[in-house]
Structure 1
Amino acid sequence: MSTPEHFVLLAKYNADMNRNLYSAAERLPPGELTADRKAFFGSLAGTMNHLLAGDTIWLKRFATHPARFPALAAMDGMPQPGGLTHSFGDDLPTLRRHREQLDAIISAWAPQITATDLAQGFEYRSTRGDVYRKHFGSVVAHFFNHQTHHRGQASTLLTQAGVDIGVTDLLLWVPALEA
């Protein structure tokens, strides 16, 4: 479902789940955040850095959309990550500051998206410089799905380290309908 309301829901879900992820990571013993767990991005910190890099790259791309979303003006001052394995740091306070900043931008941006915006084509460049033109609504859906996918990996790494992140189901964020 690619509607503006759905993306507002996903922005809230992602911000809440990111807070849960970082709170759970606080319970790790020293050294466990950066311990190599043989995950795709190595450690939990590597996975968290990948999420920050991916979100930054996409938000900077979205800032070029013809709608010129006001909330994404904040991305102008942010440096472009050097790639998808860019490191913003290896300590939780530094990573959390970046995460909270991005989540605030995403939460402000989501309500600015309109159905007209979602229906447009969107052109962007990959990190290798390849040019793509895709349906904007589908690309925004990918953006949120990417966070959920890698946060699931982070949740598994935490579980393996003996830390429970709590309930992760989007269903808990979906509002109930009036009877």
Structure 2
Amino acid sequence: MSQLSHFKLLAKYNLWMNKKIYETADTLPEPVLEKDRGAFFGSIIATLNHILVGDTIWLKRFSNHSTPLPSLEYMKCIEYPKALNQVIHPHFNDLMQARYKMDRLIEEFASELTHDMLNATLAYQSTTGAHFNKNFGHLVQHFFNHQTHHRGQVSALLYQAGVNIGDTDLLLLIPEQSPI
């Protein structure tokens, strides 16, 4: 499997998982979503906001790639988050709409990637101001891994709140193939 097909699969997984998480979270009242449950970002809504903040930061960085990506033009209009724990959308419905818009953008982004782009170096600045030059393909891998990591936390927080999002394995989206 190529990196390109891998990232397309991860974009599809991102959309599928976020839909499951948000549909499940939407069954809970906002005070339950806002309750500090002792997680790294505290509450369900704060952790969901962090995932969106991380996606925003990385996609804004990716929009500066030497090969322009049409899907990321939109990111140039989005304000850079002030902090990793910033709650961009305190109300769940606003957050859900922003998430779904971002997920469609991520699918477009993944479909625009090329091998040459993934092999290139991306120069970027961290949230603390440090400068880095790293392989773009590895950064895209980190981007998807970051989402998965924090969605696992949200899954546990939702379970603590009394709801279960169901199966979450990437395996469920891997297409069946004919035997050799």
Q: TM-score, normalised by structure 2?
A: 0.96
Q: Which residue of 2 aligns with 1:119?
A: 119
Q: Aligned equivalents of 1:78 and 1:70: distance in 2? A: 15
Q: Which residue of 2 aligns with 1:68?
A: 68
Report if aligned partners of 1:15, 1:103 keep a CA contact under 8 Å in 2: yes
Q: What's the offset of the Cα at 1:28?
A: 1.7
Report if aligned partners of 1:2, 1:137 keep a CA contact under 8 Å in 2: no
Report if aligned partners of 1:49, 1:87 keep a CA contact under 8 Å in 2: yes
SS at match of 1:64: coil
Q: Which amino acid aligns with 1:11?
A: A
Q: Which residue of 1 aligns with 2:44?
A: 44
Tell me how many residue pairs correspond in the alignment: 179
SS at match of 1:164: coil
Q: What's the offset of the Cα at 1:30?
A: 4.5
RMSD: 1.1
Identity %: 47
Q: What's the offset of the Cα at 1:97?
A: 1.2
Q: Which residue of 2 aligns with 1:162?
A: 162
Report if aligned partners of 2:51, 2:147 keep a CA contact under 8 Å in 1: yes
Q: Aligned equivalents of 2:89 and 2:14: distance in 1? A: 21
Q: What's the offset of the Cα at 1:177?
A: 1.0
Match status 1:82 vs 2:60: no
- Gap runs ≥5 in structure 1: none
Q: What's the offset of the Cα at 1:90?
A: 2.2
Report if aligned partners of 2:30, 2:92 keep a CA contact under 8 Å in 1: no
Q: Which residue of 2 aligns with 1:20?
A: 20
Q: Which residue of 1 aligns with 2:137?
A: 137
Q: Which residue of 2 aligns with 1:5?
A: 5
Q: Which amino acid aligns with 2:106?
A: I
SS at match of 2:67: coil
Question: Taking structure 1 as reference, are residues 25 and 122 closer, same or farther at Cα in structure 2, changes over 3 Å only?
Answer: same
- Structure 1 residue ranges (4+ consecutive) displaced by more than 6 angstroms after TM superposition: none
